[in-house]
Amino acid sequence: MSRSIFYLLLCSLLMNSGCKTEGWITRERISINENWRFFRYDTGADKLIYDVRPDVTDRNDNVVADSRPTESVAVTASGEVLKNWILPSGNAFISDPAKRHQRPPGNPGEDFPFVQTDFSDLAWESVNLPHDWAIKGPFYTTPDAIVGGGMGRLPVHGVAWYRKRLDVPVNDKGKHIYLDIDGAMSYAMVWLNGHLVGGWPYGYNSFRLDLTPYIRPGGDNLLAIRLDNPPNSSRWYPGAGIYRNVWLTKVNPIHVAHWGTFITSRNVSASAATIDVAVQVENKSGNDQQIEIITDIFTDDKKDGKRKVTTIPASTATIKAGETYKAESTITLQNPLLWGPPPSQQPHLYTATTKIIIGGKTVDEYNTTFGIRSLVFDAEKGLLVNGEPIRFRGVNQHHDLGALGAAFSVRAAERQLEILRELGCNAIRLAHNPPTPELLDLTDRMGFLVIDEIFDNWERKKTPLDFHLIFPDWHEQDTRSFIRRDRNHPSVIAWSFGNEVGEQYTAEQGAALAKKLYDIVMEEDSTRPATASMNFAKPDMPFPQVMDILSLNYQGEGIRDAPAYQHLKGIKTSPLYPAFQSKFPGKLIFSSETASTLSTRGTYLFPVFDGTSAPVSEGVGGNAKLQHVSAYELYTAAFGASPDKVFASQDQHPYVAGEFVWSGFDYLGEPTPYYSARSAYSGIIDLAGFPKDRFYLYQARWRPEHKMAHILPHWTWPERTGDITPVHVFTAADEAELFLNDVSLGRKKRDDYEYRFRWDSVIYQPGVLRVMTWKKGEVWAADTVRTAGEAAQLQLAPDRNAIKADGKDLSFITLRVLDKNGMPVPRADHSIQFDISGPGEIVCTDNGDPADLVSFSSHERKAFSGLALVIVRSKAAGDIKITARAAGLQPADIIIHAQ
């Protein structure tokens, strides 16, 4: 008799006798990202809809970002919809049992071919997850396109299916098997072996479905997932498809619940910390069972490795069949390694390993990564982390990864965070939705502070088909699941349950809804403050009264209040930091969105505005024909402000805890001010990951001890000889002298509330522009720019020469156009052809130009302001050769080692 047959017979005997088989079953978490089949309807779609939607009569999404949200449109279902079969998927996150949903009888879709095991999908596309079906394009270029600039001009819309056959061994019989989806855009509905399992409408939330009733261990198992991504459903590029990781989790019937641990710390000091551990255990078996719970705590440090530091004493309980038991324990940890943001602190982590033991056998083992830190939100001192005041030097980040789209890549996200760390950024606000879990793993390990946000709108809509359609049915489930998933991440320091929501405008009614959401957040986690960002609500309104901390979008520095903005329509607000502080003297205030400065990297337009902040318009920082915004970093969105204005406002109000700039990187969609472009202009860093000049303005402020000086613009202007060409310098120094061809153009001292040095009357002559700087009388830093010659050669420079040969790792390779002396040619726009050989593939190319509508999948890309980017992925071990060619220029090649 084979071992597997013997095992099955033994299990059967034990089950029939009422005994448990858990001793033979362990927890498994298996990636099922590989080898999916994908189909998207070209026209039309099937009728397996979640719910009916209102008709969209106005598809124009070219609206100012701070436009007032409007009331929802009521729609009544006229035919069969699947909503009532999907709603029970969220029952675990509805606190009142009486409000949980009962699944109706029947099995919608059971006769549809795509859910059947015998349907042939060989003609479908073969894909691996994470997958974004829209990112390869092509871009829509017509004014009446079904997807306009707001959502990125890419084909995100439509209905699509994913199918995969699951290998479920026969010895999985008796296990509980769950499907865990980290994110699918959107209205996900899942069938297994022809049975509708459930789904989740909100495309940014992670969710779990129980496959156990429908799984066939040892048999043929077919998983089919339907997604429906409507146009006019987002203000930015939402991505399309199963764009995050997907897992099978296998456990025995008695196990730690989904996101079932919560570890917090209090009384934290360098000498000791009190650790509270809560563990929820589910009994999915048919019998009551006595269990033992033991948790070991280990250090989790890349440098020091894993080391056991303590064991929480075992607790025992009898857990009834079909119920969930919560065990709570407390222990004091001596000399803890504290988690905190660099450079003054280190992000030390721990892992808690919780074991469920029955009859001496471990039946489940669950790991929780956490950090030990104290947070104090002080109205005068700002945020204190472990007793140290830490000012927010933050940025807002949308979820796309530039040319890679919304399909998550750990390396791409890590690269973004590395660039932000070089900038001096220490904090991220996640705009305006839950991130993929791996991003928070990165912020934990790299020490970023995170404002974790869930909703961009509630009941009032910003686009015709956005989340307001499902908010009444799903807001509780989405909020609770979001917090339970993320609450153990030490990088998450506060929850945001709304961004610029329309309920700011509805007085007590809106505040009541805010309080309802706030209470849900507090029920799930009262250890962190909760807030919603405000661009309209004023101190005397009821809305801000709900918040623990006050997060202001643009109101601190004022909205459309400066002279250059007076002619604009929209919200007008004088600087409101003092008014909010006077009304709420005990609440910490910070700016959750500042600036919305706009620029196109390496592009300079003349004349230059002689003030400190102006809205982009034709001839004032803008060129509508080229769809470019001047990179003098003085020009903004209609509701925005330059960095100089923001810095001055914050410095004049030192109790403000800091800022989150809109935005860290350019992002797909919302292409203000040029709607026919593909991406935003507001990033400190462009879409390809190349720093704009603004990078150095923020670096000078956020890293004041970093010896740096940066001159702008470049100095290659053959057509401007004899013309006024202003020169600005960004540096943390307090004194600077500018030289043109070794002739001094003046030495300047920076006054209070000045953040750049300006020489606005420089007459252009080719040659060498040089700046020397001093700080407190000591030499600080220098910078030099030279007039470049004609383009002569190409250069390739990878971010890493060696990558993992795992089919996932990426190398980001910068192409530069150089003259014969190796100097960058700042206005080069040559068409570059990229080729590859060896065990790798070119995933995409980019150049950072928001107006470039060439498909990201193209291997040919024009240089923009002398730069382009090619992203290469490994396929197997070996040497990958990348070559770049352009007509009339010396080519370049490099080798990437996949190991």
Helical packing angle, 410-423 and 694-702, nearest 10°: 70
Q: b vs e for 819-840, b when ≥16 Cβ sit within 10 Å of the residue's Cβ?
A: beeebbbbbbbbebebebebbb
DSSP letter assigned to residue 462: S
Over residues 32-37, the mean pLDDT reads 98
pLDDT for res 58: 82
Summarised one tens digit per residue, pLDDT across range 776-792 is 999 999 999 999 999 99
Distance of CA 311 to the CA centre of its chain: 35
| DSSP assignments along 366-396, one per residue | EEEEE----EEEETTTEEEETTEE--EEEEE
- CA torsion angle 458 461 463 465 (round to 10): 80
pLDDT at 26 over 50: yes
pLDDT for res 25: 55
Distance of CA 232 to the CA centre of its chain: 21
* Residue-averaged pLDDT of the chain: 95
Whether the pTM exceeds 0.75: the reply is: yes
Helical packing angle, 471-486 and 507-524, nearest 10°: 40
Grade residue 77 by pLDDT with cuts at 50, 70 and 90: low
Fold of domain 791-898: Immunoglobulin-like (2.60.40)
Which residues, listed in sequence order, are joined to residue 210 by a DSSP beta bridge?
178
CA-based radius of gyration for the chain: 28
DSSP letter assigned to residue 573: B
Over residues 662-686, the mean pLDDT reads 97
Examine the residue annotation and report whether 328 is marked as an active-site residue of this protein: no
pLDDT at 6 over 90: no
pLDDT at 664 over 90: yes
What CA–CA distance (Å, rounded) separates 52 from 819?
A: 60
CB atoms within 10 A of CB 800: 15
Examine the residue annotation and report whether 110 is marked as an active-site residue of this protein: no
The domains spanning 254-371 and 791-898 adopt the same CATH topology:
yes
Summarised one tens digit per residue, pLDDT across range 784-835 is 999 999 999 999 999 999 999 999 999 999 999 999 999 999 999 999 999 9
What CA–CA distance (Å, rounded) separates 501 from 504?
A: 6
Grade residue 2 by pLDDT with cuts at 50, 70 and 90: very low
Summarised one tens digit per residue, pLDDT across range 434-451 is 999 999 999 999 999 999
- Residue 223: C-alpha distances to residues 114, 125, 195, 198, 209 (Å): 10, 16, 10, 12, 12
Over residues 164-172, the mean pLDDT reads 95
What CA–CA distance (Å, rounded) separates 417 from 448?
A: 9
Peptide bond into 130 cis (omega under 30): yes
Q: Which tokens sit at 491?
A: 């990088």
pLDDT for res 79: 61
Using CB atoms within 10 Å of the CB of residue 779, give its burial: 0 to 12 exposed, 13 to 18 middle, 19+ buried: exposed
| DSSP assignments along 463-484, one per residue | STTSGGGTHHHHHHHHHHHHHH
Q: Which tokens sit at 385?
A: 């982390």
- For the domain bounded by 375-711, which CATH number is listed? 3.20.20.80
What CA–CA distance (Å, rounded) separates 60 from 143?
A: 9
Sheet holding 324-334, edge to edge: 254-266, 272-283, 324-334
pLDDT at 387 over 50: yes
What CA–CA distance (Å, rounded) separates 586 from 588?
A: 7
Q: Which of 142-146, 458-462, 608-612 has the lowest mean pLDDT?
A: 142-146
**Which residues have C-beta within 8 Å of that of residue 13, sequence separation ≥ 6?**
none
pLDDT for res 14: 35
pLDDT for res 7: 38
**Which residues have C-beta within 8 Å of that of residue 74, sequence separation ≥ 6?**
none
pLDDT at 9 over 50: no
Q: Which tokens sit at 743?
A: 């002739």
**CB of 862 closer than 8 Å to CB of 813:** no
* Closest by CA position to 822, among listed 800, 799, 798, 791: 791
What CA–CA distance (Å, rounded) separates 825 from 865?
A: 8
For the chain, the distance separating the N- and C-terminal CA atoms, rounded to the nearest angstrom, is 43
Summarised one tens digit per residue, pLDDT across range 862-876 is 999 999 999 999 999
What CA–CA distance (Å, rounded) separates 618 from 553?
A: 26
Given 453, 476, 500, 659, which residue is catalytic?
Answer: 500
- Residue 616: C-alpha distances to residues 69, 663, 664, 672 (Å): 24, 17, 19, 10
Judge: domain 28-250, CATH 3.40.190.170.
no
Phi, psi of 129 (to 5 degrees): -95, 155
* Closest by CA position to 390, among listed 527, 534, 493: 493
* Closest by CA position to 398, among listed 148, 656, 685, 600: 685
Grade residue 18 by pLDDT with cuts at 50, 70 and 90: very low
So where are the chain's domains? 28-250, 254-371, 375-711, 712-786, 791-898
The number of helix segments (H) and strand segments (E) in the chain equals: 9, 49
**CB of 772 closer than 8 Å to CB of 782:** yes
Summarised one tens digit per residue, pLDDT across range 309-343 is 999 989 999 999 999 999 999 999 999 999 999 99
* Closest by CA position to 868, among listed 890, 887, 852, 888: 852
Three-state SS sequence of 611-639 = CCCEECEECEEEECCCCEECCCCCEECCC
Q: b vs e for 239-276, b when ≥16 Cβ sit within 10 Å of the residue's Cβ?
A: bbbbbbbbbbbbbbbbbbbbbbbbbbbeebeeeebebe
Over residues 568-584, the mean pLDDT reads 96
Q: Which tokens sit at 719?
A: 């057509």
pLDDT for res 304: 66
Helical packing angle, 471-486 and 437-446, nearest 10°: 40
- For the domain bounded by 254-371, which CATH number is listed? 2.60.40.10
Using CB atoms within 10 Å of the CB of residue 570, give its burial: 0 to 12 exposed, 13 to 18 middle, 19+ buried: middle
* Closest by CA position to 535, among listed 462, 452, 644, 627: 462
Which residues, listed in sequence order, are joined to residue 531 by a DSSP beta bridge?
496
The runs of H, that is alpha helices, within 689-776 are 694-702
Which residues, listed in sequence order, are joined to residue 845 by a DSSP beta bridge?
870
Query: Hey, which CATH number is domain 712-786, 2.60.40.10, 1.10.10.60, 3.30.360.10, 2.130.10.10?
Result: 2.60.40.10
Given 282, 593, 633, 659, which residue is catalytic?
Answer: 593
- Residue 47: C-alpha distances to residues 55, 198, 246, 473 (Å): 17, 17, 26, 21
Summarised one tens digit per residue, pLDDT across range 528-556 is 999 999 999 999 999 999 999 999 999 99
Question: What is the enclosing helix (H) or strand (E) of 527?
Answer: none
SS3 734: coil
Q: Which tokens sit at 152?
A: 């990125």
Q: Which tokens sit at 355?
A: 């074991």
Question: What is the enclosing helix (H) or strand (E) of 556?
Answer: none
What CA–CA distance (Å, rounded) separates 595 from 557?
A: 9
